[in-house]
Amino acid sequence: MKQSKIGAWIAFIIGTLYFIVPLIGTFEFSLRMKRGEYSFEAYRVVLTDPNFLASFGYSVLMALITVVIGVVLVVPTAYWIQLRLPKLRPIVEFITLLPLVMPAIIIVFGYLRLYNSSSWLPLTANARSTDLLLAFSYVTLALPYMYRAVETGMRSIDVRTLTEAGEILGASMMTILFKVIFPNVRVAILSGAFLTFAIVIGEFTMASLLNRPAFGPYLQLIGANRAYEPSALAIIAFMVTWACMGIINVVGNMKSNKRTA
Amino acid sequence: MTAIDTTPPLPAEPGPVPEAYAASKKPLVGQQTWAWIGITPFMLFAILFLIVPTLYLVVGAFQDPDGHFTLQNIYDLFTPSILNAYWLSIKVSVASALLGALLGFFLAYAVVLGGLPAWLRPTLMTFSGVASNFAGVPLAFAFLATLGRMGLVTVLLRDLFGINLYGAGFNLLSFWGLTLTYLYFQVPLMVLILTPALDGLKKEWREASEILGASNKQYWTMVALPVLFPSVLGASLLLFANSFGAIATAYALTGSSLNIVTILLYAQIRGDVLHNQNLGYALALGMILITGCSNGAYIWLRARAERWMR
């Protein structure tokens, strides 16, 4: 027993070193911009760069649009599958897992050929419709996580009884969906939403190939041309990811607290 | 690149249906035959933005520029430069999947069964959730700042211990450099997938095998590992596909100097470097087949593994 405990500590310490050292390295590097002293100069340069603000803002907006489309698409579907079409569950689940099977670059490659400016549905013809296509591509990326989160939430409530109660009280289908079902799976939707946010905010492949001014391509451009700013950006990106995961945890805990109360 | 959610695994069966409904089978709203309309938006979205775009590439792989059927594109995949790209991608993916699986296993084992302080476990899980999602371009920056030519570790090793990493043949922009970088999201992913499986190892099994006189080694080889095997193998396949389809980290790390298949495809989409659009589709088809097989096997194995978790 004692021996295995030592082994466990060794595994844990090696793991910790591997994960912490690059963060320290990155942070230290990001402070080196001014010669001979540590300073936050790189952060100042990055945060005042108009392109940083523009691309970060664009990606935040994209993430919000993605979350809205994703929720509107996934929640009614999961509800309907649970309530009326349990037989189709395997098919829908398979579809939601497809984006894990197909790399993002494949999906966007298909879009570029299928929706180019001379096709039947020229979505890439102008900037606004390309934005929409990018949001759709992000929805596919988020689909496995979003669906799984919502589906788990949906299974923990009694969809049938809630729907029946709503119908007896004379509510329409839409009222039931938006005023009864949505609030009941709020926590699941929120955790799906923040996970989506974490995935979308720094996404590179799709934004770059669809030629949209998102945060991912901006990061790549800075990385190719600057020395210290990329490290500062990496630390910022890490903190954004950390914030998203932290919020998911907090939201999840809120649920269990409410249950016990 | 794959992220992972931290929601608990799904229950195997839907919750019990109240007796009254099970008996009456009366549809709640409208006609049962029209029920499928409720999922039309989702299906339409899936067809338009997932299935048709992929089919378009698959069909294109079997066509010549005039649209006639041909196998020429598939044959053309077997040219050295394309084969090399696939091969390097497969090597990096296999290495990062195997090492990720191994290290992730030990790490998960250490916090679940290793007798470490209890607070370490939630800390590791939260960190793994973050690190498995911390991929793409910023990850490349982090490793350049750490192990690049001017990186912290490179410089410290040189100044403090006189070890010249790059002099010894190490290069971050290489097979091992890329593998080492990918491990940063592969290991946490493995930890997240394996922890529930390790939790599923019941104490009773260990006690039963000890009562029956099994040694520690026998317990592992004859009880624990066979139970864990589908989870470990399945997770390794997911890790493989995860790094096979990745591009952002490699692209930001190496530019286009490392010839892996996603970077080749990226260049093909951008500027038709293969000088044949349909060969590009065939390149995509090869990737779909490889990640498809590996993920398909993962999904199948996960279903098998969940049998033990009930």
Q: Which residues contact B132 (CB under 8 A, 6 or more apart)?
A: B2, B3, B4, B185, B188, B189, B192
Q: Tell me which of A186-195, B19-28, B66-75, B203-212 is least confident.
A: B19-28
**Is pLDDT of B146 > 50?**
yes
Across the range A160-176, mean pLDDT stands at: 90
The percentage of chain A sitting over the pLDDT mark of 70, rounded to a whole number, equals: 96
User: A175 touching B, CB under 8 A?
Assistant: no
Neighbours of A252 (CB within 10 A): 17
- Assign residue B260 a region (left: φ > 0; alpha: ψ between -120 and 50; beta: otherwise): beta
Using one digit for the tens of pLDDT, what is the confidence trace for B232-256? Answer: 888 899 899 989 988 999 999 887 7
Interface of B with A in 94-133 (CB under 8 A): 103, 106-107, 109-111, 113-116, 120, 124, 126-127, 129-131, 133
Which value, to the nearest 10 degrees, does the dihedral of the CA atoms of residues B36, B42, B47, B50 take? -150
- Assign residue A83 a region (left: φ > 0; alpha: ψ between -120 and 50; beta: otherwise): alpha
Listed residue (B180, B193, B206, B178) closest to B302, CA to CA = B193
Looking at the whole model, is its pTM more than 0.95? no
Q: What are phi and psi of B63, to 5 degrees?
A: -125, 150
Shortest CA gap B11–chain A (Å): 8
Which value, to the nearest 10 degrees, does the dihedral of the CA atoms of residues B270, B275, B281, B282 take? -140
Q: Tell me which of A49-58, A117-126, A209-218 is least confident.
A: A117-126
pLDDT the model gives residue B26: 47
**Is pLDDT of A186 > 80?**
yes
**Is pLDDT of B87 > 50?**
yes
**Is pLDDT of B195 > 50?**
yes
What is the pLDDT confidence band of residue B16, given thresholds at 50, 70 and 90?
Answer: very low
- Is the CB of residue B97 less than 8 Å from the CB of residue A165? no
pLDDT the model gives residue B178: 93
Using one digit for the tens of pLDDT, what is the confidence trace for A221-254? Answer: 999 888 899 999 999 999 998 888 888 888 877 7
**Is pLDDT of B259 > 60?**
yes
pLDDT the model gives residue A116: 87
A-to-B residue pairs, Cβ atoms closer than 8 angstroms: 299
User: Are the Cβ atoms of A234 and B145 closer than 8 angstroms?
Assistant: yes
> Could you tell me which CATH number the domain at A54-260 has?
1.10.3720.10
- The pair of three-digit structure tokens given for residue A175, joined into one six-digit string: 């009222």
Burial class of residue A95 in the structure, from the number of CB atoms within 10 Å of its CB (0-12 exposed, 13-18 middle, 19+ buried): buried
**Is pLDDT of B220 > 90?**
no
With contacts defined as CB-CB under 8 Å, which chain A residues touch B172?
none
Q: Which residue has the higher pLDDT, A14 or B305?
A: A14
Q: At what angle do helices A89-101 and A127-155 cross, to 10 degrees?
A: 130
Q: At what angle do helices B261-271 and B277-305 cross, to 10 degrees?
A: 140
Nearest to B269 among A25, A102, A112 (CB): A112
Across the range B198-207, mean pLDDT stands at: 85
| Residue matched to tokens 């589906």 | A151
- Is the CB of residue B29 less than 8 Å from the CB of residue A173? yes
The distance of Cα B120 from the centroid of its chain, to the nearest Å, equals 25
Domain B80-309 has CATH 3.30.1330.40: no
Across the range A192-216, mean pLDDT stands at: 92
CA distances from A134 to A122, A211, B116, B284 (A): 13, 10, 45, 20
pLDDT the model gives residue B10: 43
Q: How many CA atoms lie within 13 A of B267 on its CB side?
A: 15
- Is the CB of residue B147 less than 8 Å from the CB of residue A49? no
The percentage of chain B sitting over the pLDDT mark of 70, rounded to a whole number, equals: 88
pLDDT the model gives residue B34: 73
What is the pLDDT confidence band of residue B107, given thresholds at 50, 70 and 90?
Answer: very high
Q: Tell me which of A30-39, B8-17, B152-161 is least confident.
A: B8-17
Q: Tell me which of A29-38, A58-67, B182-191 is least confident.
A: A29-38
pLDDT the model gives residue B9: 45
What is the pLDDT confidence band of residue B231, given thresholds at 50, 70 and 90?
Answer: confident
What is the pLDDT confidence band of residue B53, given thresholds at 50, 70 and 90?
Answer: very high
Domain positions in chain A: 54-260
| pLDDT, averaged across chain A | 88
Q: What is the 3-state secondary structure (H, E, C) of chain A?
A: CHHHHHHHHHHHHHHHHHHHHHHHHHHHHHCCCCCCCCCCHHHHHHHCCHHHHHHHHHHHHHHHHHHHHHHHHHHHHHHHHHHCCHHHHHHHHHHHHHHHHCCHHHHHHHHHHHCCCCCCCCCCCCHHHHHHHHHHHHHHHHHHHHHHHHHHHHHCCCHHHHHHHHHHCCCCHHHHHHHHHHHHCHHHHHHHHHHHHHHHHCCCHHHHHCCCCCHHHHHHHHHHHCCCHHHHHHHHHHHHHHHHHHHHHHHHHHHHHHHHC
Neighbours of A198 (CB within 10 A): 26
User: A168 touching B, CB under 8 A?
Assistant: no
pLDDT the model gives residue B11: 43
- The pair of three-digit structure tokens given for residue A51, joined into one six-digit string: 């392109």
| Residue matched to tokens 């999906």 | A107
pLDDT the model gives residue B7: 47
User: B17 touching A, CB under 8 A?
Assistant: yes
pLDDT the model gives residue B17: 45
- Is the CB of residue B298 less than 8 Å from the CB of residue B235? yes
- Is the CB of residue A120 less than 8 Å from the CB of residue A78? no
Across the range B249-274, mean pLDDT stands at: 89
**Is pLDDT of B33 > 80?**
no
- Is the CB of residue B57 less than 8 Å from the CB of residue B239? no
Using one digit for the tens of pLDDT, what is the confidence trace for A88-147? Answer: 888 998 899 888 878 899 999 999 999 988 888 888 888 899 999 999 999 999 999 899
Q: Which residue has the higher pLDDT, A261 or A191?
A: A191
Across the range A32-49, mean pLDDT stands at: 90
Cα–Cα distance for residue pair A172/B69, rounded to 1 Å: 52
Shortest CA gap B10–chain A (Å): 6
* β-bridge partners, B69: B63
Across the range A49-57, mean pLDDT stands at: 94
User: A120 touching B, CB under 8 A?
Assistant: no
User: Are the Cβ atoms of A152 and B10 closer than 8 angstroms?
Assistant: yes
- Dihedral sign from CA coordinates of B143, B147, B149, B155: positive
- Is the CB of residue A201 less than 8 Å from the CB of residue A59? yes
With contacts defined as CB-CB under 8 Å, which chain B residues touch A145?
3-5
Cα–Cα distance for residue pair B156/B154, rounded to 1 Å: 6
pLDDT the model gives residue A47: 92
What is the pLDDT confidence band of residue B24, given thresholds at 50, 70 and 90?
Answer: very low
pLDDT the model gives residue B93: 95
Q: What are phi and psi of B116, to 5 degrees?
A: -80, 160
pLDDT the model gives residue A99: 87
pLDDT the model gives residue A157: 87
pLDDT the model gives residue A69: 95
Interface of B with A in 62-91 (CB under 8 A): none
**Is pLDDT of B185 > 90?**
yes
Q: Which residue has the higher pLDDT, B2 or A234?
A: A234
pLDDT the model gives residue A249: 82
Q: Tell me which of A122-126, B14-18, B127-131, B272-276 is least confident.
A: B14-18
